[in-house]
Structure 1
Amino acid sequence: MSSTPEIAPYTARQRAMIMLFSCLGTVLDGADFAIFLIFLAPIAAYFETTLVNVAIIQAISYLAGIVGGIVFGMVSDRKGRRLGLILTVGLFSLATLASAFAPSFGVLLVLRVVAGIGIGGESGIAFSYLMESSPGRSARRGGASGILQAMFIVGSILSTFTYVQTSAAFGTEAWRAAFVILGVLGLLALVLRLFTPESRVWQARHAESASGSTTGRVPFREAMRPLMTTRMLLAVLLMTFAFFGAYAVGTYGASMLQTVFTLEPATVGLVGYTTSAITLVAYLLGGYLADRLGRRRSFIVMASIGTVAYLAFGFLSLGAGNSLGSAVIWTSPVIIGYLFIYVGFGYFGAQGVWLSELFPTAIRSTAQNLAYYVGRGIGAGVLPLVALTIATGIGADVRLAIALGVIGTIGTIVFAALLPETKGIAIDEVGTPAALRASAEFSE
């Protein structure tokens, strides 16, 4: 029987480089998500089609992300984190750059699907790679998880800046210029990732498999084994409700400010920058609490804040007519309740570390991508549309669709409570008796 290979510790400089390599893709993911939403109307006008048709592209790219998550997750689990990171950003960058030169709406649709497949592999691999750089039981992986998740917001802010600059310089062709910029940034990230060192935790596990001390089965099949099925299902449900809790307001917030309260574009933009700043800080707070209180408690605390904020917003806004209740926007009870909803998003700061610790090294990227991207496809894509359909079906406006997001935060609390705590385990011991003992000791 072979012993587990010794995992050499990383230096501070090596961990900083790993953080950089991991963050690059998350920035691109956030930028890609935001840039297409910002240019929905200009693209619809350019190709003389409806806004709904353009929005369908975004929904399909989300579903394509599930495919990318599984495919590239399996590549990462079988062939290494480094190769997975290179392939995801490479495919995304080339497809995004090509999107800038799409001659027709149909070609744009195809290229956005390809880009969705590419970026769909990013999250699980990046979080696996980063978490494996601090494998010890005492490692403060929650803080690193919060920083990595915060890069999504940095990408969104980058897209807003790109929109402003390209719109002023290129007019109706601005969306093409924006895709060129995003594609070039992706190619630069690809070049940097060519120098990415392999995860030592993955190398150790791969060495065990090669020596015959573990079975080298296909990651997706391992993820579906009876021992993992319940945990996988709970993780998918957790992320589905978590995304709905975030995207009920994230999808329709700006529309509410524009159409219900008829705020000026500059004011809507200022509120948008404010919510981005709040979300970024909330992600960092969620990661910090994951280290202090535990992964499960961080989720529950932040989702509880979101639940209270959603209830307050619903109570204050649904009976407010078209009035904010204050001449100064920042003292409006409706706006204050609206802003506090974004504080609840902090549970995403803990999701990366928790999902990484719920699944063993052999299937970590595949399982994490599956939970994250299925959850995002349903929770961020399908459920907000269902909420809007319900609201309009009973004659209400977009505020009710936002308020229904409370179902997402409540569901997040429920499914977080059903998953095991993982704080205090060594990430290379996940799934072993030692990890179960460490988790039980912390829970006590």
Structure 2
Amino acid sequence: MSSKPRSLGEIIDRLGLTRTHYLALTLVVVGGLFEVFEQLILSALGPSLEKELGVDASALALLSTVSLLAIVAGGVIGGLVADIFGRRSLLAVSLGIYCLGSVLSAMAPNSVILGVTRIVTGLGVGGEIAVGLTYLSELTPTKFRGVFVSLFNTISAGIGMFLAYAYTLVVIGPFAAAINAGDNAWRWAFGLLGVPAVLIFFFRRYLPETPAHLLSRGKIQETNEALTRLATGRLRLRSGDDVHQYVDRQTAAISESAQHHESTRQTLKSVLSRPLRRRTIALGVAAFLAWGAQFSVVLLMPLILVSRGYSVQGSVTFTMLQNFGGLIGCAIASYGGFAISRRTAVSSGAVCSAISVLAFALFAAGDALILALGFVFQIFVLLVNTTIWTWAPELYPTRVRGFGTAVIVNTGFVGGALLPLISSSLLQGVGEFWVFGVVAVMYLGLALAALFVPETHRVPLEVLHGSDKRTGAEA
């Protein structure tokens, strides 16, 4: 580097993308992929659990609610701990917790114990999501930040929503037949999700901590080591390797991440105090409605199809194929992370989600229309959700980025936990049309809430949250 940049943000931007960035993205995304499996496994196994454990639509919604509330608790706690102790360690710990929960779920003798084991799983899943988003947003240059963060959801959710149902079909079908699992096929579906625990080794050994977090804790030498790993593309520094002195105390003094140290109590309060309050509330409401609407449809779709006369495997297959549309939505969001404003993507995607879910309610009769309209709906659902995931970590300064992101993401999971209870009651009480009608209203409310969130598209994090107080004011 020919001249010393003014701040840490400029250093990261000048380094560009290296092999280390791509490795970090790969490992975080693979962890997130299995996290999506954990979220959707109850929906995919819903008909099997109904048959083997007597779990009806209301009980399935309750199990989902318990899991998602645990995700909320794990995410909020994980975000707070990550702001104190680091992003990388939390990723490894969260992965271990949710893999343990999956193995315990496979051993559950009844629905009550299954609910307890899903709490364990949820605690790990919650930390994985919020911290993964924070990690990628801090590690990546501004130009590519939106793309990298959105790719987390594009691959983990877009592909994961498809693969989760494909995985379930393989385990309860050919795999179960091959090992003669019989009525225990659903247990294997849970148990095999403990395999990703092997990723913990790679998280701990090869991923660097984010320079922003290290500098926020005053660790200048460790910051320079992390930056050297990013610049050289090396996964680990060897003994005797030169560590480039990118950052010194003068550079740290003008870097946003090294400023404004707060106590834990101040951190908890700051996301709901000026100037962060309005953005937290507005995007929190949007996430609450987005996750609530998505989980209402995804959780109940297999049961709706079974009630229409489809077989258990047929209903799961149809839901799987519908969810493949989410991959397209995520891909659009990834491109949008580079080229389209956050507010435009969320608001327009939400309106299109409302229109498509009403079209499904009115016209989805027969195999072709069920597949086509469900496919289109999932495109817009994942466009909205992926952009919210990208938006959240950009709204907060380094000192509270993990916690603030966790608040947004897990407010969404509260919606995913509570709103399907209402939807399942509507399904059993007045029919599926009203379920889809309520989901459409959720999306229109989401589009309105997004209008009150500050735009962050392609603006450096240090400009958004630096010493210029004008950039921290509510927009």
| TM bucket normalised to smaller | 0.7 to 0.9
Q: Distance in 1 between matches of 2:259 and 2:336?
A: 37
Provide the secondary structure at the position in 2 that maps to 1:194: helix
1:214 corresponds, among 260, 282, 305, to 260
Listed as ranges, the matches of 1:170-319 within 5 Å are: 170-185=181-196, 187-195=197-205, 196-207=207-218, 213-218=259-264, 219-260=267-308, 262-263=309-310, 267-316=314-363
Q: Residue deviations 1:144-202, cap 9 Å, x none?
A: 233211212433333323323332421211222222210122x1122221122101122
* 1:97 to 1:429, Cα distance in 2 relative to 1, 3 A: farther
Q: Separation in 2 of the partners of 1:158 and 1:404?
A: 28
The 2-side partners of 1:437 and 1:63 are apart by 34
- Judging changes above 3 Å, is the alpha-carbon distance between structure 1 residues 244 and 108 closer, same or farther for their aligned structure 2 residues? closer
Structure-2 residue corresponding to 1:12: 18
Please tell me whether residue 355 in structure 1 is matched to residue 379 in structure 2.
Answer: no
Whole-angstrom distance in 2 between the partners of 1:55 and 1:142: 33
Moved more, 58-67 or 429-438: 429-438
SS at match of 1:408: helix
Measure the CA separation in 2 of the matches of 1:349 and 1:433: 29
Distance 1:35 1:292, change over 3 A: same
User: What residue number does 1:364 align with?
Assistant: 401
Go from structure 1 to structure 2 and tell me whether the alpha carbon gap of 1:167 and 1:264 turns closer, same or farther (over 3 Å shift). closer
Aligned to 1:65: 71
State the Cα deviation string for residues 352-399 of structure 1 (Å, max 9, x = none): 221011111111111111111122222x22223323434654xx3213
For the pair 1:384 / 2:431, whether they are aligned, the reply is no
Amino acid in structure 2 at the alignment position of 1:128 = T
Rounded Cα–Cα distance in structure 2 between residues aligned with 1:161 and 1:316: 26
The answer to whether 1:91 aligns with 2:97 is yes
Report the CA distance shift for 1:194/1:238 in structure 2 as closer, same or farther (over 3 A). same
CA contact (8 A) 1:299 1:413 kept: yes
Alpha carbons of structure 1 residues 311 and 230: separation in structure 2 relative to 1, 3 Å:
same
Alignment-mate amino acid for residue 88 of structure 2? R
Residue 35 (structure 2) aligns with: 29
- Asked if the contact 1:30–1:154 (Cα under 8 Å) also holds between the matched residues in 2, the reply is no
Aligned CA RMSD, in angstroms, stands at: 2.9
Q: Call closer, same or farther: CA 1:189–1:36 in 2, change over 3 Å.
A: farther
Q: What is the percent sequence identity of the aligned residues? A: 19
Using the size of structure 1 for normalisation, the TM-score is 0.85
**Partner in structure 1 of residue 238 of structure 2:** none
The separation in 1 between residues aligned to 2:72 and 2:40, in whole angstroms, is: 19
Secondary structure of the equivalent of 2:380?
helix
Cα offset for 1:242? Answer: 1.5
The match for 2:225 is none
Bigger shift: 51-60 or 276-285?
Answer: 51-60
Taking the TM superposition and a 5 Å limit, the aligned residue runs for 1:121-132 are: 121-132=127-138
- C-alpha distance in 2 between matches for 1:28 and 1:389: 30
In the alignment, is the contact (CA less than 8 A) between 1:253 and 1:402 conserved in 2?
Answer: no
Report which stretch shifted further, 102-111 or 21-30. 102-111
Q: Residue 339 of structure 1: which of 356, 375, 379 is its match?
A: 375
Distance 1:166 1:292 in 2: 40
User: Which residue number corresponds to residue 78 of structure 1?
Assistant: 84
- Alignment size in residue pairs: 421
CA distance in 1, matches of 2:426, 2:112: 30
C-alpha separation between the residues in 1 aligned to 2:72 and 2:136?
Answer: 21
Contact 1:252–1:398, Cα closer than 8 Å, also in 2: no
| Cα offset, 1:284, TM superposition | 1.4
One-letter amino acid of the structure 2 residue matched with residue 201 of structure 1: A
Given the superposition, is the C-alpha separation of residues 192 and 343 from structure 1 closer, same or farther in structure 2, using an over 3 Å criterion? same
Query: Which amino acid counterpart does residue 420 of structure 2 have in structure 1?
Result: P
- Is there any run of 5+ residues in structure 1 with no aligned partner, and where? 318-323
Change (3 A) 1:213 1:313: closer
